[in-house]
């Protein structure tokens, strides 16, 4: 499950026509292929972000007709449930790294380091050799962010932007700031970035004063990974990213965080409530009977 599933259910106007099946991410087994599909075969285990928006059937179901371009072979080292947690957040985080052109010389700040996109962004940045700091809301999440590879953590309720910029960068600011939270966090991102820095936002449906951005000649990149699904353009890129991601997973460089509470398909409303509560630690995964651990 992803927060966008909740927003679509609550009326975000990018959802499928009613009556609708929701759900964007999936992992499962190919039952049949359509004409022209050559890279996948019946019996293949796959994962992807392939539904739940206009024109695409949702994935909270036993079967879904999916565009093969949006799928890739499931990482061999992951269960179905683990693989299902990866596509949307990983493609988003991958796009963040690409748009900011992250490299080993960069010092990166990730806002929301234990969130869906944030926990993958930490791992992808480390895979590129960067130094990574992450904001978190608790000491428990700070420990988890460090396990994922964060070099430094920031308890954002307890430390001001100016204080952690001084502590971690000697007041210079971060080369790249990845904001997965939005709202006031995007304002904090502009303040935390170094002159000529790059800011990447995944939640920018809000109004902001861009004066700090102008004063430091920052670049701002907005990532919205659903565009290929909504437009039909560039869907092959999603499959390509997922294939490369699978290699990183199998090499031990990326792993998903999974909330420990289990939700079979017939408890889908409870899964929504768990996600909306903000209490989940990791991705909330819906189990189609018999497939979660496969």
Q: What is the pLDDT of residues 197-229, one digit of tens each?
A: 999 999 998 999 999 999 999 999 999 999 999
Residue in 246, 234, 222, 195 with CA at minimum distance from that of residue 73: 246
Provide CB contacts within 8 A for 21, sequence distance 6+.
Answer: 51, 52, 57, 58, 59, 60, 61
Q: What is the pLDDT of residue 187?
A: 97
Say if residue 187 is exposed, middle or buried (CB neighbours under 10 Å; 0-12, 13-18, 19+).
middle
Least confident of 67-81, 106-120, 132-146, 279-293: 279-293
Name the average pLDDT for the chain: 95
70, 55 Cβ separation under 8 angstroms: no
* pLDDT in the model for residue 291: 52
pLDDT at 290 (0 to 100): 56
> CA 55, 235, 110 angle in degrees (round to 5)?
105
DSSP alpha helix (H) spans, the chain: 3-9, 80-84, 87-100, 116-127, 139-147, 161-169, 184-192, 211-215, 227-231, 235-250, 268-277
Q: Which of 122, 117, 161, 115 is nearest to 136 (CA)?
A: 115
- Taking CA atoms, 35 is separated from 20, 32, 39, 188, 240, in Å, by 26, 10, 12, 50, 20
Please give the pLDDT value at position 279. 87
Report pLDDT for 292: 53
CA angle, 200 as apex, 194 and 202 as ends, to 5°?
A: 145
Average pLDDT over residues 259-267: 93
DSSP state of 70: G
Three-state secondary-structure class, residue 89: helix
The pair of three-digit structure tokens given for residue 86, joined into one six-digit string: 């990866």
Q: Could you tell me the domains of the chain?
A: 3-85+227-287 (3.90.180.10), 99-222 (3.40.50.720)
Handedness of CA 185, 191, 193, 198 (dihedral sign): positive
Phi/psi of residue 26, each to 5°? Answer: -155, 160
Distance CA(220)–CA(5), nearest Å, equals 26
- pTM for the model stands at 0.96
Evaluate whether 275 touches 269 at the Cβ level (below 8 Å).
no
């Amino acid at each position: 499950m992803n927060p966008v599933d909740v927003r679509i259910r609550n009326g975000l106007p990018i959802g499928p026509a009613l009556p609708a099946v929701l759900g964007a991410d999936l992992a499962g087994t190919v039952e049949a292929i359509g004409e022209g599909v050559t890279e996948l075969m019946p019996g293949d285990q796959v994962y992807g972000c392939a539904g739940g928006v206009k024109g695409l059937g949702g994935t909270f179901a036993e079967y879904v007709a999916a565009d093969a371009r949006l799928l890739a072979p499931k990482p061999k080292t992951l269960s179905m449930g683990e693989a299902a947690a990866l596509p949307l957040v990983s493609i988003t985080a991958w796009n963040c790294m690409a748009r900011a052109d992250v490299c080993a010389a960069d010092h990166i700040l990730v806002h929301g380091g234990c969130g869906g996109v944030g926990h993958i962004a930490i791992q992808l940045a480390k895979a590129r050799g960067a130094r990574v700091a992450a904001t978190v809301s608790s000491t428990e999440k700070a420990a988890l962010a460090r396990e994922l590879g964060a070099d430094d953590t920031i308890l954002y309720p307890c430390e001001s932007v100016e204080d952690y910029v001084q502590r971690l960068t000697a007041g210079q600011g971060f080369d790249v700031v990845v904001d997965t939270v939005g709202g006031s966090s995007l304002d904090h991102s502009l303040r935390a970035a170094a002159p000529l820095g790059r800011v990447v936002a995944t939640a920018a449906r809000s109004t902001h004063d861009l004066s700090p951005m102008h004063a430091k000649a920052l670049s701002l990149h907005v990532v919205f990974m659903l565009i290929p699904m909504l437009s039909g353009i560039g869907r092959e890129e999603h499959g390509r990213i997922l294939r490369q991601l699978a290699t990183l997973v199998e090499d031990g460089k990326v792993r998903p965080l999974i909330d420990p509470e289990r939700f079979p398909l017939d408890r889908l409303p409870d899964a929504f409530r768990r996600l909306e509560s903000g209490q989940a630690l990791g991705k909330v995964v819906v189990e189609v009977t018999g497939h979660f651990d496969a």
